[in-house]
A = this chain, B = another copy of it.
Amino acid sequence: MGIIRKTQSVAVLLKEFENKPNAISAIELIKRLSSKINKTTVYRVLDKLEDDGVLHSFLDNSGIKWYAKCNGCSKTGHIDMHPHFQCLSCGKVDCLSVEVKIPPIPNRKIEVSQVLIQGRCESCNV
């Protein structure tokens, strides 16, 4: 179930994603907001924002959860599928707007796919 009331916590969390293109890990958000919001609430609000099609989430290579803004998604469903990029040098993670084509697999029905690309970002690739 998504967000029903416009609370402080929701506002604070949304602000963290405002005007920032990067993904942010749940852990980072908990650290950043520790004086304002309890970690349980952070997890719960993120979860609801995902239900509402405001944010989407994915796991990185070490199994930790990242969140980023959606583009054109809604309560009805997440339609904005794309790969994610993690810089192995500075740790920054972001959404890529390129399309990764998944070839058809014989006898199998593909429903979703996750692509995590790792390497060096613009700033670290010198």
Contact = CB atoms under 8 A, between A and B. Distances in A.
Interface stretch (A4-12, A15-23, A98-106): A98-106
Interface residues on A, range: 20 to 34
A60 to B, nearest CB: 9
A113 B110 contact: no
A102 B103 CA distance: 12
Given A59-B61, A63-B59, A125-B109, A117 B102 contact: yes
Contacts of A112: 117-119
B111 A114 contact: no
Interface of A: 59, 61, 63-64, 83, 85, 88, 96, 98-103, 105, 107-122, 125
